[in-house]
């Protein structure tokens, strides 16, 4: 269905709304950025695919390119359930008044994006925006209003079905500050045109309320985590002590095994000597044969007992050597990973410090 951009522009202007930017694919509008001159609020209108708004020569038009996510990217978002920490915004009058928005907290998430055609920096930035938006989608999952975030030249948006989509804005001046927009599709914009100005403010305030609550919660969690760094040397000492104990166990077992091996050699040597003596005295008769057999049987019994003890020692040695390998490798991994993460936390706090100066 074709929609005239000029007619749409005239219609929204009667409500004090101006079209500031037009985001297009193949010269057709996909998103419109609107500015409300009555309250200085900016929001987005999404144009569903069944509507066609052709856009010709205009200075405020920006082409966007859709970033397709792989199947792995789509699946990985489910690895982290964010529904505990992001309150759901409800605009129904029986549940909220004009000053407040109800919320329900639900958990964090992680959604890495694979975009083979982009640079590593682009991928990291898009991942970052995508992840933040995927957390916030729980705030608006049951209302008609959704959210967009624009950062640098990346445009990520929550669609009407609560799925996420990302774009790169071509020939766009990179915005270094993150900007959040409430968005609504064209059909619902017409239906809610009389309430839209108030609703945009309600939704934004609801999002700010959720983010402020999570800021306090996350600050407390971070504080508890960072306090653990005071125990790092203690943890390291405990691990060294544990490894030293294991080394002592292994050393004692090695000494014991060496003694057992010496004892085994002595018994084998005695058996060989008995056999050699029996050959030299074989003419002395049956009595000597019986005595030799008894002596050999006694030595073989000792050898059998030694082998059983040796088996136990070797089993214990294998256990403690495996234990040592695992502890050494896992401690290396944990300390390395924590060093990287704490360094990243430190860098993030440096960014925060420079931002609030």
Q: If you average pLDDT over residues 206-210, what whole number do you get?
A: 88
Q: If you average pLDDT over residues 102-121, what whole number do you get?
A: 45
Give the integer Cα–Cα distance in Å for 324 and 194.
Answer: 70
Looking at residue 77, its pLDDT comes to: 41
Instruction: Decide if pLDDT at 343 tops 70.
Output: yes
Q: What are the extents of the domains in the chain?
A: 5-194, 230-356
Residue with more model confidence, 224 or 61: 61
What proportion of the chain, given as a percentage, has pLDDT over 90? 35
Detail the DSSP E strand segments found in the chain: 17-25, 28-36, 41-46, 61-67, 146-152, 154-158, 164-169, 175-185
Give pLDDT tens digits for 237-248: 888 898 899 999
| Candidate from 95-99, 174-178, 255-259, 301-305 with smallest mean pLDDT | 95-99
Detail the DSSP E strand segments found in 207-348: none
Banded pLDDT at 100 (limits 50, 70, 90)? very low
| Candidate from 7-16, 23-32, 346-355 with smallest mean pLDDT | 346-355
- Can you spell out the DSSP letters for 207-236? HHHHHHHHHHHHHHHHHHHHHGGGGHHHHH
Please name which of 106, 110, 122, 119 lies closest in space to residue 166, comparing C-alpha atoms.
Answer: 122
Banded pLDDT at 313 (limits 50, 70, 90)? very high
Instruction: Decide if pLDDT at 117 tops 70.
Output: no
Residue with more model confidence, 104 or 297: 297
Looking at residue 277, its pLDDT comes to: 64
What proportion of the chain, given as a percentage, has pLDDT over 70? 82
Instruction: Decide if pLDDT at 281 tops 60.
Output: no
Q: If you average pLDDT over residues 281-294, what whole number do you get?
A: 63
Residue with more model confidence, 111 or 128: 128
Looking at residue 196, its pLDDT comes to: 93
Looking at residue 66, its pLDDT comes to: 87
Instruction: Decide if pLDDT at 331 tops 50.
Output: yes
């Amino acid at each position: 269905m074709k929609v005239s951009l000029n007619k749409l522009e005239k219609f929204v202007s009667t409500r004090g709304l101006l079209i500031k930017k037009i985001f297009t694919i193949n010269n057709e509008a996909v998103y419109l950025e609107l500015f409300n001159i009555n309250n200085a609020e900016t929001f987005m209108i999404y144009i569903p695919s069944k509507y066609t708004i052709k856009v010709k020569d205009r200075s405020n038009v920006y082409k966007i390119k859709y970033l397709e996510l792989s199947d792995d990217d789509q699946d990985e978002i489910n690895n982290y359930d964010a529904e505990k920490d992001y309150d759901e915004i409800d605009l129904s009058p029986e549940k909220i008044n004009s000053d407040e928005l109800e919320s329900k907290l639900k958990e964090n998430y992680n959604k890495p994006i694979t975009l083979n055609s982009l640079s590593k920096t682009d991928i990291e930035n898009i991942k970052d925006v995508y992840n933040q938006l995927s957390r916030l989608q729980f705030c608006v999952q049951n209302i008609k209003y959704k959210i967009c975030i624009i950062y640098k030249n990346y445009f990520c948006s929550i669609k009407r079905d609560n799925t996420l989509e990302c774009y790169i804005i071509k020939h766009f001046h990179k915005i270094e500050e993150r900007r959040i927009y409430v968005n609504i599709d064209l059909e619902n914009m017409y239906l809610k045109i009389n309430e839209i100005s108030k609703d945009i403010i309600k939704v934004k305030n609801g999002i700010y309320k959720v983010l402020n609550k999570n800021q306090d919660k996350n600050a407390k969690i971070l504080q508890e985590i960072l306090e653990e760094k005071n125990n790092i040397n203690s943890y390291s000492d405990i691990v060294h002590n544990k490894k030293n104990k294991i080394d002592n166990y292994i050393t004692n077992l090695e000494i014991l095994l060496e003694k057992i091996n010496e004892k085994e050699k002595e018994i084998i040597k005695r058996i060989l000597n008995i056999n050699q003596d029996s050959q030299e005295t074989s003419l002395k008769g049956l009595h000597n044969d019986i005595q030799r057999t008894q002596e050999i049987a006694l030595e073989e019994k000792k050898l059998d007992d030694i082998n059983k003890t040796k088996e136990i020692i070797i089993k214990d040695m294998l256990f403690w050597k495996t234990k040592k390998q695992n502890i050494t490798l896992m401690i290396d991994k944990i300390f390395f990973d924590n060093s990287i993460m704490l360094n990243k936390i430190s860098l993030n706090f440096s960014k925060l410090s420079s931002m609030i100066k």
